[in-house]
């Protein structure tokens, strides 16, 4: 049943040989790799206004524009820095790899930890913002927003477990649709304002005018919030192998186009917000408010909301392919559980996908689907990885001193400094609002990674072949110390005894007596059937099987030569369905797990299948 | 850690020999065995009023008195019937046993199913009513009522897992305190009214006067609700072995005293309700309203509420000892999973206790801790078991024709008829309010019980010794078909290979190749180390270990004699802590479970312990 259902949802298991990547040209690479960066426009502007408006009232819009411009400037510095990363890492240069290469183990782990947190937040923030786009258009859905968000995540999880990459081009279409919608909005909005001079219903009239002191701290806080717009820039330099040849040139073109698109879209919407004075309220996003004023509540408005929701989902989806890939690198280096580097039935890193899904759902539930409360956690991780990646590149030029290294070092050095300054701004201004959580999480994850690696190292040491090799076995010697566990005398125990007789002529049967009646019955049957081996019975006053057995084993062990294994044969019923298993308990399994903690015991399970 | 915590909460494991029962005389037997019956007074009267008041207004109180008297009459009929059960079943005559003895399998299963439902409802209803007594006195706690109820159930669960029966006499004290409180209330209440002529603040003035038609259906519905007062009567005839000699005589005395106590308390409070015109409102029980008027909000009032809460908890607690005991009988007869008949570390039937706890908590959560919504489910199960038990006794006299059988048959026959009629009344009048659920649940449980029994029967048949017995083993013959699974060549796999060499000179190593690099590494190491046995390598295009192995096993099987077992040796890392297990995955375990579904495979686990 479950298995048929699973096949239906996930499709049939794929061969390893079927693993292949679709390659993109610039036209398709742009939308697929930039959806994360472009989609952040949907919430970044709003996050700036949410900080400014309560204090500055209608004055907020002027400062918003300046802050937006600063962020776009920051983006261009990043683009120039990352073009050099693309040149140096033709196989893809995420910050984990760049930091590992140039800065060493600890920085790479910090980069890995902050990237992991970011991917999880990308999913949580993007799906929450996608839901906000939907509920802005259909307010009746607002009260179900958490359910809608969780449903999105679950559908994406199933999609990625099935493996969506085969048809990745489809993912490019929503991005282009979003670009078209939003550019139309900007053009029509500007036209209405400057050419038609249509009056705007000014919803800011109720706002207090420049309340309180506009501190530099407030501006920095708004800037920090807006930096959420810069997430997803790394995706392009991560994804170089996905480009058609010349891959590096194509990637650099896409990165440049991406920057101009963000400039137009983020700058344009910020400017529109200042002339249309959109005031974010609960249940209505800024983008939705502007769209409503520009388009009216017609087809174009719904188109805008739909494409916004779609591109945000695409953005979350990029995390579903990047996070498991990152974890697989980390796991291959031994810093994360090895299962994360295994490909699932459909060739995706399914454990990483599931982990991402659970973590994102947890965040959505804990933060009640509120984008504003998630954003402070978001930007800090992004800028840690930017800083590490740029510093890594800087160190690379300094060390290698290849042609033109001074020039290149200046560019990456500038990138590193600027992102580090931004990181400090975000860390300080948002510390109490959630950044502290990231400051605890990252060291915790890094320590966890090192503990995992230490464990794997220890296991590898213990298993290494230095100490002993293959034993010379005297085949004429009989196996000693073979014990068959007997609960009652039936087909299953007889099969086990017969098996035991084959491997040794020197076996004993062992019975733990919990119920007097059952033991008497066994004795009667035993002497009737005469199995020809001794039956040892021990009382168990505490109704526990392990202890009397362990005592007996220990007494045997004293009689044996050092290094000899004691063999326990356990008959085991095997029933076919799950509910039948419930009827037979798991005593045998628990007992076996306890026995195997002793290095002198080998356990033989002899199954008896009940049809 | 967990184990220390568990010891602290539950105490040390007890020996089977420490199992003993405290025996009661009449004085202690009365409160311990009758808490369920007496405590139902706390909610039964209220349930009558809740049906009558909305339709009849102030006229409700007259009819309430008649209905209460009818219920007390029913109780006396039951008492005379059950006195005969006590005479016939000195070891305890619950309806499951009586029905099994006299009516056959199906009726006994129906009795078992309805009793099981009832015990679960006893816990849910009594704890909800206990919480209502507390929140009536302290209204601030009202909004936390579900949490309070769940906390009660969990504390009771832990107490019963620890085993409370050792000090059962303590449980008698709250019952006596409750009796004292409530009899004081009745006496003072009557005295104030008839002697002091103190005017009652009539809260019924706002009630509509005799609204709508007072149909017979309404009266029957109120009667059905009130029948909740009769739960727990069976406890005495169930508990005969707990009495000191002469046990049966003592039990009969207790039963008679119980009936008189219910007469005084239930009759008395119903009468008080009519003169004090208590109108149940949300958050205030009828008993609390009467108590407030009689005592004022002083010490006696809080005493009444506290003892009410306590006796209701005691009532729930009786279900915690009776339900697991009932299930252990049913499980010993093979109609329920066998684990329910095993005694836990502290000698209680711990699986039954846990099951009861989970089921009751679920009910409390689903029904939002609302006694009124649970009551309709309650009474129907009680009366099914009454009817079956009395019919069983009736059939017993008819069949045995022992001395005075006619007289006895008339008594039990009357009991059976009256309880059957009541059952029909409850079933019809409360059908749409929840009784339908019980009508679905009971057949479902009965069918479940029969399926379980059929499964155990089939297993017993398959395991029975009729077909083959012990094999004659030719010790000179070598074990054939021994396969060692090798992932990589390390200490663990070498230990497994050495073990394999001991049991057969004819073993092969088998490796499933998922990762080319890992396979190449294994090959190199293998030829360096030279284990002296063949290494077979199979590719796995689907990254799955089971299938290639199974194909190889199948090919071996064709080469073997019928009945030969194929032995798979699996090296297994054993790590000490739980989190380390997470780092190593469960591939081996899953693989083993799949292999054991084949009757021709025995699996040997050779552990390698990582310190």
The rounded distance, in Å, linking the Cα atoms of B376 and A202 is 60
Same domain, A509 and A430: no
Are residues B498 and B427 part of one domain?
Answer: no
| Pick from A16, A498, A530: CB nearest B471 | A498
Q: In whole angstroms, what is the distance from residue B449 CA to residue B118 CA?
A: 17
Chain A interface mutation, best of B478, B491, B577, B581, highest count of A Cβ atoms under 10 Å: B491
- The answer on A448 and A492 residing in a single domain is no
The residue out of B456, B471, B497 marking a domain boundary is B456
- Considering only CB atoms, which chain B residues are within 8 Å of A598? 607, 609
Q: In chain B, what residues touch A565 (CB-CB under 8 Å)?
A: 499, 606
Cβ of B531 within 8 Å of Cβ of A459? The answer is no
Domain count, chain A: 2
% of residues, chain B, pLDDT over 90: 38
Q: What pLDDT is recorded for position A213?
A: 63
How buried is residue B166: exposed, middle or buried, by Cβ count under 10 Å (0-12/13-18/19+)? Answer: middle
Please report the pLDDT score of residue B211 as a whole number.
55
Residue A409 pLDDT class (50, 70, 90 cuts):
very high
State whether A502 and B479 contact (CB < 8 Å): yes
Whether residues B22 and B169 share a domain: the answer is: yes
Q: A490 and A555 in one domain?
A: yes
Q: Cα–Cα distance between B553 and B62 in angstroms, integer?
A: 82
pLDDT on residue B22: 66
> What digits encode the pLDDT tens for the residues A496-532?
998 998 888 889 999 999 888 889 999 988 888 888 8
Helix (H) or strand (E) holding A178: helix A172-194
| φ, ψ at A574 (rounded to 5°) | -120, 120
Q: The CATH number of the domain where B507 resides is what?
A: 3.40.50.620
More confident residue, B4 or A148: A148
Give the span between the Cα atoms of B543 and B55, in whole angstroms.
71
Who contacts B17 (Cβ-Cβ below 8 Å, separation ≥6)?
Answer: A541
Output the pLDDT for position B421.
93
Inform me whether the pLDDT recorded for A98 exceeds 70: yes
Report the distance separating Cα B221 and Cα A222, nearest Å.
66
C-beta atoms surrounding A333 within 10 Å: 18
For the cut 70, the answer to whether the pLDDT of residue B200 exceeds it is no
Claim to verify: residue A520 and residue A427 sit in the same structural domain: no
Whether residue B420 has pLDDT greater than 90: yes
A31 in a domain, yes or no? yes
Q: Do residue B189 and residue B280 come from a single domain?
A: yes
More reliable by pLDDT, A130 or B577: A130
Q: Kindly state whether residue B342 falls inside one of the protein's structural domains.
A: yes
List of residues 6+ apart from B328 with CB closer than 8 A: B340, B341, B349, B352
8 Å CB contact of B602 and A599: no
**Same domain (yes/no): A347, A312:** yes
Closest CA in chain A for residue B451: A580
In this predicted structure, what is the pLDDT of residue A25?
Answer: 85
* Crossing angle of helices A491-503 and B435-463, rounded to 10°: 40
SS3 for B414? Answer: helix
Taking contacts as CB-CB distances below 8 angstroms, the residues of chain B near A479 are 502-503
The model's confidence at residue A413, banded by pLDDT at 50, 70 and 90, is: very high
**Contact across the interface for A17 and B541, Cβ inside 8 Å:** yes
Q: How many CB atoms lie within 10 A of CB A466?
A: 7
Tell me, yes or no, whether A475 lies in a domain.
Answer: no
Which pLDDT value is given to residue B76? 92
Peptide bond into B246 cis (omega under 30): yes
Q: Please give the pLDDT value at position B62.
A: 82
Contact predicate B223/B70, CB 8 Å: yes
Please check whether residue B431 is in contact with residue B224, taking contact to mean a CB–CB distance below 8 angstroms.
no
- Residue B470 resides in a domain: no
Residues A439 and A556 grouped into a single domain: no
Choose the final residue of a domain: A439, A455, A471. A455
The enclosing domain of A431 has a CATH number of 1.20.1740.10
What pLDDT is stored for residue A387 in this prediction?
A: 94
- Region B593-604 average pLDDT: 88
pLDDT bin (cut points 50, 70, 90) of residue A208 is low
Residue A468 is predicted with a pLDDT of 57
Residue B72, pLDDT above cutoff 60: yes
Average confidence (pLDDT) over B375-397: 90
Say yes or no: ipTM exceeds 0.85: no
Flag if B607 and A584 touch (Cβ within 8 Å): no
- Cβ(B115)–Cβ(B95) below 8 Å: yes
Q: Residue A60: pLDDT band by 50, 70, 90 thresholds?
A: confident
Alpha helix locations (H) across A515-577?
516-529, 546-559
- CB-nearest to A596 from B502, B505, B574 is B574
A450 falls within a domain:
yes
Residues B315 and B377 in one domain: yes
**pLDDT score at A444:** 95
Mutate to test the interface with A, among B347, B479, B605 (most CBs of A within 10 A): B605
Mean confidence (pLDDT) of chain B = 86
What is the arrangement of strands in the sheet containing A482-485, beginning at the earlier edge strand? A535-539, A507-513, A482-485, A566-574, A601-609, B601-609, B566-574, B482-485, B507-513, B535-539
More reliable by pLDDT, B593 or A421? A421
Q: Is the pLDDT of residue B268 over 80?
A: yes
pLDDT of residue B71: 92
pLDDT tens readout for residues B541-586: 888 889 899 999 888 877 777 667 899 999 988 887 777 777 777 7
* Nearest Cβ partner for B596 among A13, A458, A605: A605
Task: Examine the fold and report which residue of B438, B456, B474 is the final residue of a domain before the chain moves on.
Answer: B456
Q: Is the pLDDT of residue B252 over 80?
A: yes
A439 and A522, same structural domain? no
Query: pLDDT confidence of A167, banded at 50, 70, 90?
Result: low
Inform me whether the pLDDT recorded for A166 exceeds 60: no
Task: Please count the residue pairs, one from chain A and one from chain B, whose beta carbons lie less than 8 angstroms apart.
Answer: 191
Residue A259 banded pLDDT, cuts 50, 70, 90: very high
Residues B500 and B360 in one domain: no
Task: Provide the residue range defining the domain that includes B488.
Answer: 482-609
Q: What is the DSSP string of A379-399?
A: HHHHHHHHHHHHHHHHHHHHH
Contacts of A507 in chain B (CB under 8 A): none
Which segment of A384-398, A455-469, B260-274, B396-410 scores lowest on mean pLDDT? Answer: A455-469
Nearest to A149 by CA among A379, A368, A434, A372: A368
The answer to whether position B12 is within a domain reads no
Instruction: Report whether pLDDT(B299) > 70.
Output: yes
Higher-confidence position of B273 and A469? B273
Confidence class for position A203, pLDDT limits 50, 70, 90: low
Determine the distance in angstroms separating the CA of A584 from the nearest CA of chain B, rounded to an integer. 7
Binned at pLDDT 50, 70 and 90, residue B110 comes out as: very high
Would you call A567 helix, strand, or coil by DSSP?
strand
Residue at A266 is within a domain: yes
Tell me which chain A residues have a C-beta less than 8 angstroms from the C-beta of B350. Answer: none
Chain A residues in contact with B543 by the CB 8 A cut-off are 16, 342-343
Helices (H) and strands (E) in chain B, counts: 22, 5
Q: Which residue of A349, A503, A505, A547 to mutate against B (max B Cβ within 10 Å)?
A: A503
User: Considering the domain boundaries, does residue A159 fall inside one?
Assistant: yes
Q: Which helix (H) or strand (E) holds B566?
A: strand B566-574
Interface test with chain A among B587, B602, B603, B608, by most A beta carbons within 10 Å: B602
pLDDT value of position A473: 64
Residue B392 pLDDT level (bands cut at 50, 70, 90): very high
* B575 interaction partners in chain A (CB closer than 8 Å): 459
- Residue B167's pLDDT is 52
- Residues B67, B219 contacting (CB under 8 angstroms): yes
Q: Which of B342, B497, B601 sits opposite A607 (nearest CB)?
A: B601
Q: What percent of chain A has pLDDT over 90?
A: 38
* Contacts with B548 from chain A: Cβ below 8 Å: none
| pLDDT of residue B311 exceeding 70 | yes
Average pLDDT over residues B93-113: 92
- Average pLDDT, rounded, for chain A: 86
Which residues from chain B sit within 8 angstroms of residue A604, using beta carbons?
Answer: 567, 602-605
Cis peptide before B109 (omega within 30 of 0): no
How does pLDDT run across A286-302, given as a tens digit for each residue? 899 999 989 988 899 99
Least confident of A10-14, A16-20, A24-28, B201-205: B201-205
């Amino acid at each position: 049943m479950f298995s048929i259902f699973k096949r239906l949802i996930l499709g049939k298991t794929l061969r390893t040989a079927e693993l292949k990547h679709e390659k993109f040209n610039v036209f398709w690479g742009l939308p697929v790799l930039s959806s994360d960066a472009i989609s952040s426009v949907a919430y970044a502007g709003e996050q700036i206004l949410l900080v400014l408006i309560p204090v500055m009232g209608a004055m907020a819009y002027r400062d918003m524009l300046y802050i937006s411009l600063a962020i776009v400037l920051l983006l261009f510095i990043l683009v120039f820095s990352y073009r050099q990363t693309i040149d140096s890492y033709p196989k893809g240069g995420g910050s984990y790899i760049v930091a590992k290469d140039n800065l060493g183990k600890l920085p790479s782990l910090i980069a890995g930890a902050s990237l992991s947190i970011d991917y999880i937040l990308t999913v949580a923030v993007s799906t929450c913002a996608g839901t906000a786009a939907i509920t802005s258009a259909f307010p009746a859905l607002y009260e179900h927003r958490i359910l809608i968000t969780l449903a999105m995540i679950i559908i994406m999880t199933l999609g990625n477990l099935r493996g969506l990459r085969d048809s990745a081009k489809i993912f490019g279409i929503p991005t282009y649709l979003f670009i078209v919608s939003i550019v139309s909005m900007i053009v029509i909005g500007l036209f209405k304002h400057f050419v038609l001079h249509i009056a705007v219903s000014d919803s800011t009239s109720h706002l207090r005018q420049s309340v309180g002191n506009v501190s530099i701290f407030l501006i920095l806080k708004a800037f920090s919030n807006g930096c959420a717009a810069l997430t997803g820039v790394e995706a392009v330099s991560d994804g170089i192998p996905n480009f058609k040849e010349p891959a590096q040139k194509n990637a650099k073109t896409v990165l440049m186009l991406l920057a101009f698109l963000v400039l137009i879209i983020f700058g344009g919407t910020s400017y529109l917000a200042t002339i249309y004075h959109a005031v974010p309220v609960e249940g209505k996003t800024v983008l939705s408010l502007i769209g409503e004023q520009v388009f009216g509540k017609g087809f174009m408005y719904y188109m805008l909301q739909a494409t916004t929701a779609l591109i945000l989902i695409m953005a979350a989806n990029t995390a579903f392919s990047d996070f498991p890939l990152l974890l697989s690198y980390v796991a291959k280096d031994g810093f994360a559980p090895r299962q994360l580097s295994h490909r699932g039935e459909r060739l995706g890193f399914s454990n990483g996908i599931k982990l991402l899904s659970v973590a994102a759902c947890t965040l959505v539930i804990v933060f009640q689907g509120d984008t504003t409360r998630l954003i402070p956690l978001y930007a800090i991780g992004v800028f840690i990885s930017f800083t590490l990646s740029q510093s890594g590149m800087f160190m690379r030029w300094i060390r290698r001193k290849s042609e033109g290294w001074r020039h290149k070092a200046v560019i990456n050095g500038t990138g590193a400094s600027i992102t580090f300054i931004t990181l400090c701004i975000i860390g300080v201004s948002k510390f109490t609002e959630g950044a502290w959580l990231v400051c605890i999480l990252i060291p915790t994850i890094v320590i966890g990674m090192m503990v995992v690696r230490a464990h794997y190292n220890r296991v590898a040491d213990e298993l290494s072949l230095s100490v002993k090799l293959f034993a010379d076995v005297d085949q004429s010697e009989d196996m000693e110390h073979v014990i068959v566990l007997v609960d009652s005398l039936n087909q299953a125990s007889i099969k086990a005894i017969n098996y035991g007789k084959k491997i040794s002529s020197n076996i004993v049967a062992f019975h733990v007596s919990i119920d007097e009646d059952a033991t008497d019955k066994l004795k009667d049957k035993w002497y009737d059937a005469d199995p020809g081996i001794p039956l040892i019975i021990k009382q168990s006053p505490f109704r526990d099987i392990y202890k009397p057995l362990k005592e007996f084993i220990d007494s045997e062990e004293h009689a044996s030569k050092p290094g000899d294994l004691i063999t326990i044969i356990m008959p085991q019923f095997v029933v076919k369905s799950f509910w039948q298993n419930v009827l037979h308990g798991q005593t045998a399994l628990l007992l076996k797990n306890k026995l195997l903690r002793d290095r002198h015991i080998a356990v033989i399970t002899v199954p008896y299948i009940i049809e």
